[in-house]
């Protein structure tokens, strides 16, 4: 490799031919074939690699897959060499040949020596920047990650606790109802109830549908009083206890008269109605346990979808699924005065994407929108097809962005939140995921009483 090969490369503008010669003398030319790995993610960045011609892919190992996170496809693009300024510097990705290529490889130590000779003041600034940025960024990211994880975990625990607690209460009540049912059967057997009578009673039981019970508390109280009075007149000692359960299941006095025709009055009627009430209660409690456990299962499925466990990193993705799992994960914030409006196209096309990364974007946008409304307003979540793209909009009826915030929304480290608030994923990172990783666009549209973050993802 000669000085003439490096002179056209913009990276080396300002260097003299003598300096370029020193750089070539310190390094060596490396010919690259497709598929060959030049450096490996996580290893010490002992060499500085400068592309002279050809193409290299930058690959990171995510989960169980290798994901292309960048590409060196123009002369002068470089990677590595970080140990010239940072002893702990490592390669951030694996460099792999895509086409036949040539690179200049310079040892990090030699690069540091050359820089010390050419730009001593610049070296001091770069070294200080590395140390300061590493320390601040590491601490901040660790804290933000822990805070975000804690907030999501607390919210998820709250979501799971409600159906889980309901299931526990229903199981306890189910045990009591089972004991009452067996006691009633024992009393009926002791009372000499004939098989024909029990069959008739069971036929009456099958007519009872707990879903038809009164919804209005006043109507339920009136029905309970009416049943209690009738039962008391027919020799039922536990009139109020039985009346409450039967009235809640939609039983009326006419039905009780038919039961009395089968059972007679007194203890046998009480035992028979106790058996019916316990059976109906068990049906209701079993349905409650089923619904509670289904809800827990749905939450687990939503978490699985949100985290994309056991799935390929890049895949055909249904954007609606990611939006719904995100709303579940943030369900603890969508309470009280927040109204969620979903507007999804039924024929929404799938996009080639990393759904786990997109879920991070949706989390950030929804969290920002809810915080902006301060617990009261309308959250609009839209996913529609538009020409060759899928457009997702997260809108809120909060006070909106100031002109300064709108202008700086996608700047690195810019935030309108206090320390410790938010998800730790700024709009700058959301923009990188959408624009650089998925070839889409993201923009802010503030006006007409609504602030909208609009994400456009290409299809195909």
Look at 326 and 107; give whichever has higher pLDDT: 107
Token pair of 429 as six digits: 């990172």
Cα separation, 297 vs 303, in Å, equals 10
Q: Among candidates 347, 358, 332, which has minimal Cα distance to 425?
A: 358
Banded model confidence at residue 102, pLDDT cuts 50, 70, 90: very high
Predicted pLDDT of residue 421 = 47
Average pLDDT score over the chain: 82
**CA geometry: angle 96, 101, 102, nearest 5 deg:** 110
Cα separation, 52 vs 234, in Å, equals 101
Cα separation, 300 vs 290, in Å, equals 15
Q: At what angle do helices 267-307 and 239-248 cross, to 10 degrees?
A: 40
Banded model confidence at residue 360, pLDDT cuts 50, 70, 90: confident
CB-CB contact of 16 with 37 (8 Å): no
Predicted pLDDT of residue 31 = 94
- Residue 308, phi-psi category: left (phi > 0), alpha (psi -120 to 50), beta (remainder): left
CATH fold of 3-118 reads Jelly Rolls (2.60.120)
Cite the residue boundaries of each domain of the chain with CATH code 3.30.565.10: 310-458
pLDDT at residue 405 above 80?
no
**Strand 337-344 relative to strand 376-386: parallel, antiparallel, unpaired?**
parallel
Residue 74 burial (CB count, 10 A): 12
Q: Which CATH class is domain 310-458?
A: alpha beta
Q: What is the pLDDT of residues 287-302, one digit of tens each?
A: 888 888 887 777 777 6
pLDDT at residue 390 above 90?
yes
**Long-range contact set of residues 140-146: C-beta below 8 Å, sequence gap at least 24:** 141/424, 144/423, 144/424, 145/424
Cα separation, 143 vs 156, in Å, equals 20
Predicted pLDDT of residue 265 = 86
Q: What is the pLDDT of residues 146-176, one digit of tens each?
A: 555 566 666 667 677 778 888 888 888 888 8
Cite the residue boundaries of each domain of the chain with CATH code 2.60.120.10: 3-118
Mean pLDDT over 317-339 rounds to: 84
Cα separation, 170 vs 353, in Å, equals 43
| Count of residues in the chain | 460
Cα separation, 250 vs 246, in Å, equals 7
């Amino acid at each position: 490799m000669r000085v003439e090969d490096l002179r056209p490369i913009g990276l080396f503008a300002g260097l003299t031919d003598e300096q370029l010669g020193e750089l070539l003398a310190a390094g060596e030319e490396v010919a690259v074939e497709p598929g060959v790995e030049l450096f490996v993610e996580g290893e010490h960045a002992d060499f500085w690699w400068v592309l002279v011609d050809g193409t290299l892919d930058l690959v990171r190992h995510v989960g169980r897959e290798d994901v292309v996170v960048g590409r060196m496809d123009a002369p002068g693009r470089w990677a590595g060499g970080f140990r010239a300024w940072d002893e702990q510097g490592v390669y951030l990705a694996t460099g792999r040949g895509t086409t036949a290529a040539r690179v200049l490889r310079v040892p990090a130590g030699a690069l540091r020596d050359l820089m010390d000779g050419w730009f001593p003041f610049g070296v001091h600034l770069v070294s200080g920047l590395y140390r300061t940025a590493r320390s601040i960024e590491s601490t901040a990211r660790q804290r933000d990650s822990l805070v975000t994880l804690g907030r999501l975990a607390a919210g998820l625990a709250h979501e799971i606790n409600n159906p889980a607690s309901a299931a526990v209460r229903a199981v306890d009540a189910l045990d009591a109802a089972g004991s009452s049912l067996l006691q009633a059967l024992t009393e009926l057997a002791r009372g000499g109830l004939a098989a024909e009578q029990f069959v008739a009673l069971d036929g009456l039981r099958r007519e009872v549908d707990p879903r038809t019970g009164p919804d209005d508390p006043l109507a339920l109280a009136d029905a309970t009083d009416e049943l209690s009075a009738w039962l008391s007149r027919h020799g039922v000692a536990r009139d109020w206890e039985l009346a409450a359960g039967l009235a809640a299941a939609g039983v009326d006095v006419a039905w009780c008269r038919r039961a009395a025709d089968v059972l007679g009055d007194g203890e046998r009627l009480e035992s028979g109605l106790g058996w019916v009430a316990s059976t109906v209660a068990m049906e209701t409690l079993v349905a409650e346990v089923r619904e509670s456990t289904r809800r827990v299962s749905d939450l687990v499925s939503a978490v699985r979808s949100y985290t994309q466990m056991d799935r390929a990193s890049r895949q055909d993705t249904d954007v609606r699924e990611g939006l719904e799992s995100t709303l579940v994960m943030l369900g603890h914030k969508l309470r009280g005065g927040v109204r969620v409006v979903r507007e999804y196209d039924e024929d929404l096309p799938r996009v080639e994407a990393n759904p786990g990364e997109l879920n991070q974007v949706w989390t950030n946008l929804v969290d920002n929108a809810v915080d902006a409304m301060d617990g009261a307003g309308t959250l609009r979540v839209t996913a529609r097809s538009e020409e060759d793209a899928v457009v997702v909009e997260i809108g809120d009826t909060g006070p909106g962005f100031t002109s300064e915030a709108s202008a700086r929304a996608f700047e690195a480290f810019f935030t309108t939140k206090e320390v410790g608030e938010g998800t730790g994923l700024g709009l700058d990172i959301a923009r990188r995921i959408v624009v650089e990783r998925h070839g889409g666009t993201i923009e802010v549209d503030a006006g007409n009483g609504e602030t909208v973050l609009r994400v456009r993802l290409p299809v195909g």
